[in-house]
Structure 1
Amino acid sequence: MLLLAYYFKHHPIGKYKWYWLIILSLLGSLLFALPFYYWLNTKDKK
């Protein structure tokens, strides 16, 4: 989780910051957090 957060800190994929990945991971799991974080950041790029 920390390596992914570090990667997204330096290579953001959208407007939601890297710390949201950590928050979502703590609320659920990394299997939930990664797809949801990706969806949040790419849903407005249509």
Structure 2
Amino acid sequence: MAWRDVGFPRWGLPTMRLTVRFLAGAPMERQLRFDTRVVRRDGRKEIVRT
């Protein structure tokens, strides 16, 4: 998965959420999808809080 696909800057600076996501694995991934929504704008994916 490319950095831009999860809404991070092109240079890919690690954030706490990103670190937690990688460490926690699938359960955190499901939780993240539960309270966020990925929408396509102009061919890009952006994460929007719901």
Q: Establish whether TM, by shorter chain, passes 0.5.
A: no
More helix by share: 1
What TM-score do you get using the length of structure 2 for normalisation?
0.36
Larger Cα-atom Rg: 2
